[in-house]
Each structure stands twice: as structure tokens, then as C-alpha cells.
Amino acid sequence: MPGKDDKNRMRAQAASSGNAQSGGNFSVTRHLGRPSPALASTVTANRARASAAFAKDHIESRGRETLFEAPREVLELRRKENQMAAAAKKIQARLRGGHERERILRAPVHEDKREAAKSFAKSYKSAETARSHMLSEPVSSGREAMRASSTNLMADIREVGSLGVKPSEVKTFSGIKDRQRQKQGVEALEQKRAQHGLSEDETLQLSAASSKLRMRSEVSKLIDKDASGKEQGFNRLASAIYFQTKTAGEMGLKHAIHTTTNPASLGFIQRDGIDPTKSQESGRGDRGFYGAGDRETSLEEIGAHGFKPHDEITHTIDPRAKVRDFTHPVDRPIISNRSADDAERDGRPNRGNFVKKDTLGAEAEFAALPSMRQRSGINTIKYTAGMSGYKSQAVTKTYNAEEQAQQQVKLGGHKETFGPHQKDETTATRRDVHAHRQRTAHRVLFAEIHDQAQLMRSGRPRAAAVASEHEVRPKK
């Protein structure tokens, strides 16, 4: 095979011979002027053809050189690459076949996974929606609470000015207003329950709010006390803004049934009229003329004290009569009898004197109290003499000896025997009795601990312990 230098010489000779041949057909004479145009064009064309032929031959020769001179390593590398590519294709084909078999075998599993994924996505979406709602709800509720608080604050400021609240009474005013608003919330939930019913959360909210308002600490916000803790009466702000005066028509009060417990009482009432001073001072409404809203409540009331019924007098209440309302369930502890400790401290089993003072101060004819014997019963107490507040009066029943005996048998089990002061069988009273027993037990326990400590300091228990340690044990 010729070398590269030999090929280059051959190309140079071919080029020189071609030029000689192309130029040999024409006689070139040297002269002072330029060659003729025809000669110049012919020379230019010949040169262009020679250059094109040379370029073509050069390119072809370079291609042949590249092909002939390619190293064997490159060819071997290409061959191996081709083999590897073919092997990879076979492997991929086998893998595709394996994947297909695996897909066929696992199709049920994948289907279950898809269903599980759909269920999870649905649950996640619901949970995310609930979470977004929960995150946005406190913001909206917080804004509503701020608006309500601002509105209440402005109303309180106006009310403080109209009542002439002193700086020392601001805290008391705030506590009473807070209780009043909580009571209004309870009333709204009770009204909703009567009309449409309550959800589970609303039922729990109503129960919690009602229980809170019945607590002793909440009730004490309405009552003034002296330095020793003795109750003095309802706070003037409680009488002004918390306890309400309504008409008998608004409260649905139509009748006041008074059952006498003495055969001569009917004659006195018919002859001298109604005289509240003849009644007992220890009652829940203090000294006043009592009337129940129905016969059953009236019999329960007198039966709880162990009295026999004689004559039933029914009064028709004027719907325009003013009534001081103490009947709300959350105010029941106010009317209930005090605990034994509180009764001993205040010298009275109940707050009847507070009720009477508040009613007369509001210029109302009646005070309406919840019955502690009949759950739904209401008692009215009249503190003024005469028939004011009543439209009519009539004797509606006279009990004979047999009916009196039946009533005593029927109501005999309800007679209260709680000690020196009669007590109401209510949850609040039972709680007070339990607390009193706990305090007594604690005092006894503390006394025993104190005595034991005294003995320890005197050294007697230690000597006994030392003696027990040095007892002579029998030998084995």
C-alpha cells in the first residue's frame, strides 16, 4: 500500500501535468499589454475545473484512509457494544415478561390498594375540610365574642351611669352582670329545646352553665355579707338589674290556692280579710300569705310540715298584678334552705326575709317562688293586706276526716326530719349535708393526727416500739 508521502507526490505531479496540458494549447507571447479576454476566461475555467477535481479526489482519498487506518480496538469496542445492546434487549424482554406475570398475579392486590387509596383520599379530604373549618371557626367565633364583648361593655357603661355605681361597687356590678348574661344564655337554650330540641353539644353546654350558676360561689355574688361572713341581704345592684318584676299574665299565673290547716282559719280570712302577719315568719317567703298554683302543690306543701288540710280557698290573680320572679331553675339555691352551718351562722333556715324586702322594695304585690315539694309547682306570696292583686276569692273544697286521713297517709313519708331547721330534699341541700359531714370527718381526723403527734413528741410511742423490738422470741 503506498504511503502518505508517495500519494502527495503523485497529486502534485498530476496537478502540474494538468496545468501544462491546459496551458499548452495556447501560445503565450509576452508583450507589454494585458492578455485578451477570451484567453483569460479560458484560463480561469480550466483552473476552476482543476480545483474541483482536486478537491473531490482529496476528499475521497481521505475517506479511504480513515477506513483503512481505523484501529482494531475501535472495531472490537463497537462489536462488544453491539453484543451488550443485544443482551440488554433480551434482559429487558425477560423483565417485561416477568413484570407482566407479576401484574397478573398481583392484580387483586393492586385493586385492593387502589380502593384503599381512594378511601384514604376521601377520608383525607374530609379530614382536611373539617380541619380547615375548625381552624376558621375559632377566628369567626373570636370575632363574634369580641363584638359581643364590645357591645356589652358599652351597655354596661351606660347602665353604670344610670344606676350611680360607686367605684367600690364596680367589681360587684361586673359579677352580677356576668351572672345575668349567663342566665340569659341558659334561657335561650331552654327556649330552643322546647321549640326544636338541642344537639348533644348544646345539651352539654346547657347542663354545664346551669350547674355553674347553682354553685354557692355564684349565688354569693348576689348577696351582701358583713366582715364575719353573715349574710345581710340581696345586693342593691342585684335587686336593680338581676331580679325581674313581671306581670302575672306574663308569667302565666292564674290562681293562688290557699289550704288552711286550722278549722278556724277560714272564718278569720272571710271576716277580717287577708292578713300576712298571721303567717309563720320562718317560711321561704318570710311572713306572707301563701298560695299555690294548683291543688297538688298546695297539699304537698302543708303535708311536708305534717299538717292536715281543712279548707281550700282559691283566689283568681289579676293578670296585671306585679310579681317579683324568683322561679328560674338556676335561682333555686337562693330560695332553698341553707345548710346547717349557714343556718347556724345567719340564725335563719332560709332567705325569706331577703325575698320579702326585695319584693316590697320593687313595689310588687307578689313574690313567685318555685315549690320545693312539687317539681313544676309555683307558690305566690302576698305581703300586703286585703285583696290587692286578686280579682276574686272562693272556697273550692272542704276536706272531711276521711280525706284528711288519706292525705296524711299519702304525704306522711314526705315530712322533713333534718334537725332543728327543716331542709329541702334537693340536690343542693344533699350536697351541703355531704360537705358538712366531710368537714366534720376532717376535723376528727386532724384531731387524731394532732393527738398522735403529741404522743410522738412525748416519746411514749417510741418506747413502745423499742420494747416490741426487744421482745424475747422463742428459740427454734
CATH number of the domain at 318, please.
Answer: 3.90.175
462 in the same domain as 345: no
313 in the same domain as 389: yes
In a domain, 102, yes or no: no
In a domain, 133, yes or no: no
394 in the same domain as 252: yes
Element (H, E) at 224: strand 223-225
Residue identified by cell 393526727 is: 449
403 in the same domain as 278: yes
d(CA 329, CA 189): 13
Residue/partner pairs of 38-47 with CB below 8 Å, 24 or more apart: 46/22
d(CA 363, CA 360): 5
Mean pLDDT of the chain: 78
Q: Which domain holds residue 383?
A: 245-422
Rounded (10°) angle between helices 107-163 and 170-195: 130
Cell of 138: 375559632
Q: First-to-last CA distance in the chain?
A: 125
The predicted structure's pLDDT at residue 63 = 58
d(CA 13, CA 456): 138
397 in the same domain as 287: yes
384 in the same domain as 253: yes
In a domain, 273, yes or no: yes
In a domain, 98, yes or no: no
407 in the same domain as 296: yes
375 in the same domain as 402: yes
In a domain, 100, yes or no: no
Residue 27 has pLDDT above 90, yes or no: no
Rounded (10°) angle between helices 460-469 and 427-458: 70
pTM above 0.85, yes or no: no
439 in the same domain as 340: no
278 in the same domain as 365: yes
339 in the same domain as 253: yes
Q: Which of 446, 450, 288 is nearest to 382 (CA)?
A: 288
Residue/partner pairs of 274-278 with CB below 8 Å, 24 or more apart: 274/382, 274/385, 274/386, 274/387, 275/385, 276/382, 276/383, 276/384, 276/385
d(CA 157, CA 382): 36
- For the chain, how many structural domains are there in total? 3
In a domain, 299, yes or no: yes
d(CA 104, CA 106): 6
In a domain, 126, yes or no: no
pLDDT, tens digit (0-9, with 9 covering 90-100), for 219-265: 999 999 998 889 999 999 999 999 999 999 999 999 999 999 888 88
pLDDT, tens digit (0-9, with 9 covering 90-100), for 184-223: 999 999 999 999 888 988 999 999 999 999 998 899 999 9
- C-alpha dist (Å) from residue 81 to 67, 88, 160, 257, 435: 19, 10, 98, 116, 96
pLDDT, tens digit (0-9, with 9 covering 90-100), for 397-432: 999 988 888 887 776 544 443 333 334 444 445 555
Q: Which of 29-33, 87-91, 249-253, 364-368 has the lowest mean pLDDT?
A: 29-33
In a domain, 113, yes or no: no
410 in the same domain as 267: yes
